Structure 1
Amino acid sequence: MCLFIETICYERGCFQRIELHNERFNRTRQQFFGLQIPLQLELFLSVPADLKDKTVKCTVTYGADIIRIDYNIYQIRPVNSLQMVVDDSIDYAFKYADRTKLNSLFNLRHQSDDILIIKSGLITDTSYANVIFKKDDKWYSPQNPLLKGTQIGRYFREGRVTPALLCPSDLPLFSEARIVNAMISIENSPVIHIENIKDFFRDIYK
């Protein structure tokens, strides 16, 4: 059976962007299982009492029904460098529980902290987050990510981040990169200096 996950941030006593998670959760259930009646995830979520003053990563694993919900204290993993990898066939338009392909690409990172996936000549995502790039005082992010996360979707709607078609040769135009996902905002993301995105200088300037 095909399984999916929904990762929800619990912070400051509430579930962040729960309406966007509900939208993706129910869209996936309809697409793969033909289920028309929407469910509200917040009715199934209950953070343990000893975690209520923490930042908690709530992971919902589901198919046609919710299989399990895990609650874990969250700390941002340091990511200060990226290794570009190319995969023109990868498909992660839905948040699949099976991350075998992503994990295989992650293993190609060499000495870098994470990967930056290039598909059909365009920049997409890291192994677990959307990526944004800063030019002057504006932020840009790939127009066609592998998975459009709830956080980047919110930034697009608010106008804080502009979607754009970005290829590796565009990277010298930017001063820094950051990662965003359900657990990581622009403000608390680690900073990735452009020169720490491996291979692009070698490929562009050789």
Structure 2
Amino acid sequence: MCRFIETIQVRDGELQHLSHHNRRLNETRKAVFGVSEQLDIRKYVAECPADGIQKCRIVYDREIREVTFSPYRMRQVQSLRLVRADTADYRYKSADRSELEALYSLRGNQDDVLIVRNRLLTDTSIANVALEKGGAWYTPATPLLKGTKRVWLLEQGTLKERDIPADDVYSYSRIALFNAMIDFGALVLDINRDTIIPV
């Protein structure tokens, strides 16, 4: 049976953006398994580590199967390689990351890949992205995964959605990588041909 994951940031003992994680977990359960009963992650997490930043990993299918915590250390990313993957599909946050890992293996000497599907930017292997132009931040309208942090940033008005053709990437000034564990603004690269390597 397919299993799925939620990765939740725990900051000083508090689960961050829990309502967004609950929503995605229950939407996935309904879409994949036809289960309408709503689960609340909080009922399965008795106590969170109290200090610093921790990663809470929830594994589930129809039910929540496993809850684990681990210290979090952000991966350093200083360069990205554009890779084409027109059939890539990661709309649900599956525990099976083999497709993403295969794309990651194409990074060459770069730290990660920036995945291009049907000529449009999507995500890296670990994060959603946003690109800056004229002081505004734009995130791809069709990412591989609609991350919980991405949803929250759109709701806050911090980001706007738009199609970003891979051919236009160098017309933007900076790129930010973010996910449930990487806060927006914590990992930002200037865009040039040393930081984003063409296909």
Which range, TM-score by smaller chain?
over 0.9
Matched, 1:30 2:21: no
Q: CA deviation at 1:47?
A: 4.1
Q: State which of 55, 58, 83 in structure 1 corresponds to 2:56.
A: 58
**Aligned position for 1:204:** none
2-structure distance, mates of 1:164, 1:80: 24
1-structure distance, mates of 2:13, 2:37: 28
Q: 1:174 to 1:62 in 2, by over 3 A?
A: same
SS for the counterpart of 1:183 is coil
Q: Deviations over 1:120-154 (max 9, x none)?
A: 11000000110111112111110110001011111
Contact 2:176 2:185 in 1 (8 A): no
2-structure distance, mates of 1:90, 1:6: 20
Q: CA deviation at 1:13?
A: 2.6
2-structure distance, mates of 1:73, 1:34: 34
Contact 1:47 1:71 in 2 (8 A): no
Q: Deviations over 1:84-131 (max 9, x none)?
A: 110111110100110001000000000111000000110000001101
Aligned residue identity for 1:131: V
Matched, 1:192 2:186: no
2-structure distance, mates of 1:181, 1:72: 16
2-structure distance, mates of 1:172, 1:84: 12
Contact 1:8 1:21 in 2 (8 A): yes
Q: CA deviation at 1:171?
A: 1.3
Contact 2:6 2:21 in 1 (8 A): yes
Moved more, 57-66 or 98-107: 57-66
- How many residue pairs get aligned? The number is 197
1-structure distance, mates of 2:54, 2:47: 8
**Aligned position for 2:178:** 180
Aligned residue identity for 1:14: E
Cα RMSD after superposing both structures: 1.2
Matched, 1:136 2:144: no
**Aligned position for 1:12:** 12
1-structure distance, mates of 2:75, 2:148: 19
Q: Which has the higher helix share?
A: 1
2-structure distance, mates of 1:118, 1:143: 13
Q: Deviations over 1:13-61 (max 9, x none)?
A: 311100000000011111122211101001111345xx31121111101
In structure 1, the gaps of 5 or more residues are: 201-206
SS for the counterpart of 2:124 is coil
2-structure distance, mates of 1:133, 1:187: 11
SS for the counterpart of 1:124 is strand
Contact 1:130 1:180 in 2 (8 A): yes
Contact 1:93 1:146 in 2 (8 A): yes
1-structure distance, mates of 2:101, 2:46: 30
2-structure distance, mates of 1:73, 1:54: 8
Please give the TM-score of this superposition, normalised by the length of structure 1: 0.92
The residue correspondences of 1:18-167 to structure 2 (distance < 5 A) are 18-47=18-47, 51-167=49-165
